[in-house]
Amino acid sequence: MYKFLNRSAAQAIMNYKLKGATSQEKQGTLVTALGRLIPLLRGEEKNLLITFIAILFSAGATLAAPVIIARAVDVYIQAKNYHGILILSGILLGIYIVGSITSYIQTITMGRVGQRVLFNLRNNIFMKLQELPIAFFNQNRAGDLISRINNDTNMLNQFFAQSLAQFIGSSVTIFGIGIFILILNIRLGAATLVPAFIVLGVTQVLSSWVQRKNLTSLRSLGGMSAEIQESIENFKVMVAFNRLDYFREKFNQANVINYRASVGAGVANNLFAPLYDLSYDLGQLIVLTYGIYLITTGNFTVGLLIGFLLYANNFYNPLRQFASVWSSLQLALAGLNRISEVLALHSDMPVVAAEPNASPFMLEFKDVSFRYPEGKEVLRHVNLRFDKGKTYALVGPTGGGKTTIASLMARLYDPTEGMVLLDGRDIRSYQPQERTQKVGFILQEPFLFTGSIKDNILYGNPQYRDYSTEELHTLLEKENLSDLLEGFEQGLDTPISSSGDTISLGQKQLIAFMRAVLRNLELLILDEATANIDTVTEQLLDKILNKLPASTTKIVIAHRLNTINEADEIYFVNSGEVTAAGSMQNAVDMLLHGKRES
């Protein structure tokens, strides 16, 4: 049975690396690209319908106004019938009012659709980030991910909020007026539309090129964002090592790359406005010359020609707006491309079915091997057994694989070969909630969220989440943890900033320790969890650990020997292999004289 499972797991960790600033691929044409936006609008059918009706009305108003004006000119002004002009003016006023109201409805409905699409997309990406395993975060840069969530989604918002309604409205108007002028005079109408068709054809051809330019530009923005984020988060190193000039230089490189990519995208996006303007002018010329020709042949009137010029105006003005909408669409699609890259990823750590009671131990490693992507093997065929309620120590030189073993115990990764069994079952068969309730892992590098000490102690603890400060105090007292709060002047309410340095590393470790102890775990892993805490406080922590229920299994990784001398068993981890040390003396000998690899 293992063999079967082994084979399915016998591969390196999935590659989660997102595309960087340099990779290129083909983009679809305008029509196929529009199709990709449709799924984002699911659930907005009603609003789209409202928008569409509003657009029909406002487009109708736009269409009707010149007809009325042309009629006023042809019938009443030429006939000098002022009363008729006033009646038509009244009708025109009514049409304008309808146009304004529908335009309001259209803008607000579509704008809200845009905001909601943005809201959902942003949330979906963040949710996806939460679903992805830790390997994803090791392979991608924080700044680039931030850029995807904020900048790229915003490109889509701009399109949906400002451009989509305009896009639909313009399309309807263009289509309506196009048909209308064809009906009005098929020959003159057809001639008027020729430049429009030419320019739309050119658009279609250039579409994928422009989108590629935009994608490159967004990628370079992501790359720059990563550069900034990394540097500013680690500013103190820059200062202490006098490397702010290096930081500036690195940033300027990213800045120049971004500048070039943006200019490239800008040149592509801006090509179209003048092109569409040109088609407008040519359309007018055709109407004028051909119209006059038609009048000379007696098939047309001056009034109709003026009306036709207005229609040509009304046909080409939305087409000119199209040009700007169109580049915003290209940007949106490039943004969507980068967002989809994240959304398309899926966790390669599913919950699998497994038979119960496959192992009598609290934790067992069966022939476990592990390698990081593109890395060498970190663990080689490791077999380990941990009894319930005992304390184990893992020692060995740095880089020997201790943290990797601990990470597998908490299923931060899956082994590339072999199996980890938790409380008798394949660890992969546990639901995350069930697993995290059993296993606690105090990380080597503690991380605190912005908030208070209390927030951080209760973080991820469903049992005590709603405790008040007093209740938490009582609880800490009961668990013998309250002494650890002494160093914090404002106690549980001491504020914490994740990017700040007011809390020392040792204090962060104390908070992480308290957080873990309060969780009533079955298996507690401490990965050098007290490395930066003074030895006197550490003795206190030892006492607290000893008071944990007898059923709690403890696994301690440490360099300091006093932290491990109470272990029931000591394992020596080196070069991806694990050997039982037998006794403390043996462990020390191995540490001091054994073959080392790191």
Partner 1 sequence: MKEKSTEHKVIKATGTNLLNLLRPYILLVGLLILLTIASNALSLVVPKIISNAIDTYTQGNFVLQSVILEFFLVVFFVFILTYVQNIMQTYTAERVARNLRTGLIAKISVQDYSYIQYATPAKLLTNLTSDVDAVKTFVSQAITSIISSVFLLVGASVLLLLINWKLALTVLSIVPVVGLLFYLVFSRIRKLFKKSQEVIDWLNKVITESILGSALIRLLYAEHYEYQKFRAASTEAKSIGFSILRYFATLFPVIIFTANMAILIILVLGGHFVVIGSMSLGNFTAFYSYLAILIFPIFIIGFMSNAIAQADASYQRIGEVLNAEEKKETGGVVSQLRGDIAVKNVSIALDKRIILTDVSFSIQAGTKTAIIGPTAAGKTHLLYLLIGLLKPDSGVIEYDGKNIDAYDKKSLHQQIGFVFQDSIIFNLTVRENIAFSNTMHDEDLHKAIATAELTDFIEALPQKLDTVVSERGTSLSGGQKQRIMLARALALNPKILLLDDFTARVDTNTEEKILSNIQKNYPHLTLVSVTQKIAPIEKYDQIVLLMEGEVLAVGTHQKLLETSPEYVQIFESQRSTSNYELQT
Site residues for partner 1, 119-178, by CB under 8 A, read 119, 122-123, 126-127, 129-131, 133-134, 137-143, 145-147, 149-151, 154, 157, 161-162
For residue 101, the minimal CB distance to partner 1 (Å) is 7
Nearer to partner 1, 204 or 583 (CB): 583
C-alpha of 362 from chain center? 37
Q: Which of residues 303-342 bind partner 1 (CB under 8 A)?
A: 305-306, 309-310, 313, 317
Determine if 206 is a binding residue for partner 1 (CB under 8 A). Answer: no
For residue 75, the minimal CB distance to partner 1 (Å) is 11
Contacts of 407 (CB under 8 A, 6+ apart): 134, 413, 441
Stretch that binds partner 1, among 359-367, 386-394, 429-437, 469-477 (CB under 8 A): 429-437
CA angle 351, 356, 362 (to 5 degrees): 90
Considering only residues 266, 389, 424, 491, which one is a binding residue for partner 1 as defined by CB under 8 A?
266
Q: Give me the amino acid identity at 263.
A: V
Nearer to partner 1, 45 or 245 (CB): 245
CA angle 359, 360, 365 (to 5 degrees): 50
Determine if 263 is a binding residue for partner 1 (CB under 8 A). Answer: yes
Stretch that binds partner 1, among 19-27, 40-48, 93-101, 330-338 (CB under 8 A): 93-101
Q: Are 153 and 339 spatial neighbours (Cβ–Cβ below 8 Å)?
A: yes
Nearer to partner 1, 52 or 259 (CB): 259
Q: Which of residues 440-479 bind partner 1 (CB under 8 A)?
A: 440-441, 443-445, 447, 449-450, 459-461
Determine if 194 is a binding residue for partner 1 (CB under 8 A). Answer: no
Please state, in angstroms and rounded to a whole number, the distance separating the CA atoms of residues 574 and 358: 28
CA distances to 114, 211, 412, 576 from 12, rounded to whole Å, are: 41, 34, 14, 16
Residue 508: other Cβ atoms inside 10 A: 18
Considering only residues 53, 56, 108, 200, which one is a binding residue for partner 1 as defined by CB under 8 A?
108
Q: Is 468 helix (H, G, I), strand (E, B) or coil?
A: coil
Q: Is 434 helix (H, G, I), strand (E, B) or coil?
A: helix
Which parts of 297-365 fold into alpha helices (H)? 302-343
Stretch that binds partner 1, among 22-30, 177-185, 338-346, 492-500 (CB under 8 A): 492-500
Number of residues near partner 1 (by CB under 8 A): 187
Nearer to partner 1, 20 or 28 (CB): 20
Please state, in angstroms and rounded to a whole number, the distance separating the CA atoms of residues 291 and 296: 9
Nearer to partner 1, 234 or 480 (CB): 234
Considering only residues 13, 73, 331, 578, which one is a binding residue for partner 1 as defined by CB under 8 A?
73
CA distances to 59, 180, 221, 251, 500 from 226, rounded to whole Å, are: 45, 53, 9, 10, 20
β-pair type (495-496, 523-527)? unpaired
The site map against partner 1 for 19-38 (x = CB under 8 A) is: --------------------
Determine if 343 is a binding residue for partner 1 (CB under 8 A). Answer: no
Determine if 533 is a binding residue for partner 1 (CB under 8 A). Answer: yes
Q: Which of residues 501-530 bind partner 1 (CB under 8 A)?
A: 501-502, 504-507, 509-510, 515, 528
Residue with tokens 């105006």: 313
Nearer to partner 1, 1 or 79 (CB): 79
Stretch that binds partner 1, among 22-30, 207-215, 359-367, 397-405 (CB under 8 A): 397-405
Phi and psi at 379, nearest 5°, equal -125, 140
Tell me the HSE value of 559 on the side-chain side, using a 13 A CA sphere: 11
Determine if 96 is a binding residue for partner 1 (CB under 8 A). Answer: yes
Q: Which of residues 348-387 bind partner 1 (CB under 8 A)?
A: 372, 374-376
Beta pairing partners, 569: 392
Contacts of 395 (CB under 8 A, 6+ apart): 402, 557, 558, 559, 564, 570, 571, 572, 573, 581, 587, 590, 591
For residue 400, the minimal CB distance to partner 1 (Å) is 8
Q: Are 443 and 374 spatial neighbours (Cβ–Cβ below 8 Å)?
A: no
Q: Which of residues 551-590 bind partner 1 (CB under 8 A)?
A: 559-562, 565, 584-585, 588
Of the candidates 209, 348, 349, which has an alpha carbon nearest to the alpha carbon of residue 267?
209
Please state, in angstroms and rounded to a whole number, the distance separating the CA atoms of residues 288 and 265: 37
For residue 166, the minimal CB distance to partner 1 (Å) is 9
Determine if 100 is a binding residue for partner 1 (CB under 8 A). Answer: yes
Nearer to partner 1, 133 or 415 (CB): 133
Please state, in angstroms and rounded to a whole number, the distance separating the CA atoms of residues 499 and 491: 20
Helices and strands, number each (H, E), in the chain: 20, 12
Q: Which of residues 271-310 bind partner 1 (CB under 8 A)?
A: 271, 273-275, 277-278, 281-282, 284-285, 288-289, 292-293, 295, 302, 305-306, 309-310
Nearer to partner 1, 386 or 441 (CB): 441
Q: Which of residues 402-421 bind partner 1 (CB under 8 A)?
A: 402-403, 410, 412
Q: Which of residues 220-259 bind partner 1 (CB under 8 A)?
A: 221, 224-226, 228-230, 232-248, 251-252, 255-256, 258-259
